[in-house]
Amino acid sequence: MDNVGQEKEIGKDGLKKKILKEGDGYETPINGDEVEVHYVGSLLDGTRFDSSFDRDMPFKFKLGLGHVIQGWDDGIKTMKKGEKALFTIPPALAYGESGSPPTIPPNTTLQFEIELISWTKVKDICKDGGILKKILIEGENWQTPKDPDEVLVKYEARLNDGSLVSKSEELEFTVKDGCFCPALSRAVKTMKKGEKILLIVKPQYAFGEKGRQPEGDNKCVVPPNTALQITLELVSWKTVSEVTSDNKVLKKILKEGEGYDRPNDGAVVQVKLIGKLQDGTVFVKKGSDEVPFEFKIDEEQVIDGLDRGVKTMKKGEVSVLTIHPEYAFGSTESHQESSTVPANSTVYYDVELISFEKEKDLWELTTQEKIETSGRKKEEGNTLFKKQKYERASKRYEKALSFIEYDSAFSEDEKQQAKVLKISCNLNNAACKLKLRDYKQAAKLCTKVLDADSKNVKALYRRVQAYIQLVDLDLAEMDIKKALEIDPDNRDVKLEYKLLREKMKEYNKKDAQFYGNIFAKMEHLNSASGARNPEVVPMKIDSKA
């Protein structure tokens, strides 16, 4: 209340404001908002030249768009709802040198007593004035649709003279694909469920320079470069999310699930599901009777896309999964219970997650359970490795390590068991990385093993293999010699040493050829310039190794 009666300058152009009555709250209107005010305008001598009270009607206008004098736009932006203030506005922010005859002389300072009754939020959606949004009915919650989502809307589009252009009581479309005109998809991404808005749409977001000609049952023409007014209501939408980063497994939620919990790797899930081809042919139907279909996540009991999709669901959720061939049945024909799935087919699953039981989280396990679980995950990795599923095997070994990574609470015996497991998992994971041609990571994993057990021949052997591929031949030679010192009769190490020596000879020859070419070029250049040829010392090639 201390501000009441005090005059303060706003900005640097001479606009002054004196608060006569405090407003409510903290919010003030912004450019584009439709404000409603009562006002009295006077000259400095007290002569009154205009008043909304004389018309017994508040004055409405859109703030910041130049619909009123600059002093009003600048001043009303500082007001709260219900506030009353006296503004002293210099000529440059009022009617300037020309004035507004006959009531306002040239170069006149004006005073306006203004009361801000209320305002309606108007959002400039594209930040260029092309689509202005005015909320008529507030929506629910806070979520808004995204590009992949499918929305259900009602809309009515009219020309500025009120002529009806188009109307729909029920229109469903994917946000990114849009519908009717570009403004709809842009606006709907700003809306909440149940929200109803009025859009003022400039031609570039309507039908542009070409306009729209009559088509089908719609006989209304939209002339070129014509603005539209569109009333739009967001009835509902189905969330479509990307299960995989390459967009080849998509999930459309038909019914939201309960809570926040979702299945984890190893969780046992109970579902109802129907698998369909693109033409609607059902190839599998499970769990539709009294007993739901049960499977374990991340155990390859179902196709990969279904596994990944169900893992993102909540209890009670109903969704449609769209699964591309890479995550379904691939490039081969697959005979299912009701129909054959052709090669390279995108498939669709209607899935309801009835319930699930999560695999125990790390913090729920005792120290002995952590070791047992780690051992079990390691064996699962071994099984996957034998099936040549190296990527999945690598993840199992990493999962196994996560259970025993922090062993401060372990007993001495448990620490020893954990050490053996860590060495085994890192070695096996290094073998996976070699198969996957991730040689740097393979070398790092072997180094971890050697930090714990410096005489581990397997770790030295696999690091040699990685170093050879990375062309770190000197490091490879050091490791192979150390391995032979520890185990001179190891057949695999001997064979690898033979391969290494061949590689070193091959690279020495390449080096000799490379430098030989350089010297030949230098000799040619020197001859051409008449310079005396220096004595060329041949490169020493170390053929021993």
Dump the DSSP string for 405-435: S--TTS-HHHHHHHHHHHHHHHHHHHHHHHH
The band of 221, judged by pLDDT with boundaries at 50, 70 and 90, is confident
- Greatest CA separation found in the chain? 113
CA distances from 151 to 30, 135, 167, 441, 497 (A): 30, 18, 16, 45, 65
pLDDT at 518 > cutoff 60: no
- What are the residues whose beta carbons fall under 8 Å from the beta carbon of 499, sequence distance 6 or more? 468
Of the chain, the end-to-end C-alpha distance in Å amounts to: 91
What digits encode the pLDDT tens for the residues 120-139?
A: 888 889 988 899 998 899 89
Band of pLDDT at residue 84, cut at 50, 70 and 90: very high
What confidence tens digit (pLDDT) does each residue in 145-204 have?
999 999 999 999 999 899 999 999 999 999 999 999 999 999 999 999 999 999 999 999
pLDDT, tens digit, 9 for 90 and up, residues 441-480? 999 999 999 999 999 999 999 999 999 999 899 999 999 9
pLDDT tens for residues 227-270? Answer: 999 999 999 999 999 999 999 999 999 999 999 999 998 999 99
Percent of the chain with pLDDT over 90: 77
Residues 6+ apart with CB under 8 A from 210: 224
* Whether 145 contacts 117, CB under 8 Å: no
pTM: 0.62
Compute the distance between CA of residue 375 and CA of residue 386 in angstroms, rounded to an integer: 17
Alpha carbon distances (Å) from 434 to 81, 236, 452, 469: 69, 50, 21, 9
What's the distance, CA 2 to chain centroid?
A: 48
Q: Is 368 helix (H, G, I), strand (E, B) or coil?
A: helix
**pLDDT, average across residues 486-509:** 88
Supply the DSSP symbol for 74. H
Q: DSSP secondary-structure letter at 330?
A: T
| Residue 16 clears pLDDT 60, i.e. is over it | yes
Flag whether pLDDT at 537 surpasses 50: no
Q: What average pLDDT score do residues 431-439 get?
A: 96
Q: Span 486-503, mean pLDDT?
A: 91
Average pLDDT of every residue of the chain: 90
Query: Is 397:424 a contact under the CB 8 Å cutoff?
Result: no
Query: What's the CA gap between 416 and 24, in Å, rounded?
Result: 69
Residue 214 has pLDDT above 80, yes or no: no
pLDDT band at 539 (very low <50, low <70, confident <90, very high): very low
CB contact at 8 A, 18 and 112: no
Residue 521 binned pLDDT confidence (cut-offs 50, 70, 90):
low
Task: Note the pLDDT of residue 290.
Answer: 77
Note the pLDDT tens digit of each residue in 373-424. 999 999 999 999 999 999 989 999 999 999 999 888 999 999 999 999 999 9
DSSP track, 97-117: TT-BTTTB-TT--EEEEEEEE
- Tokens at 84, concatenated: 């009353």
**pLDDT value for 532:** 42
Half-sphere exposure of 63 (CA within 13 A, CB side): 27
Cα separation of 375 and 96, whole Å? 85
Backbone angles phi, psi at 526, to 5 degrees: -65, -40
Separation CA 413–CA 371 (nearest Å): 11
The pLDDT of residue 312 is above 50: yes
Would the pLDDT of 114 be above 70? yes
Tokens of 151: 């929305």
Listed residue (504, 501, 503, 463) closest to 482, CA to CA: 463
Active site residues: 39, 49-50, 69, 95, 112
| Per-residue pLDDT at 233 | 97
pLDDT at 544: 30
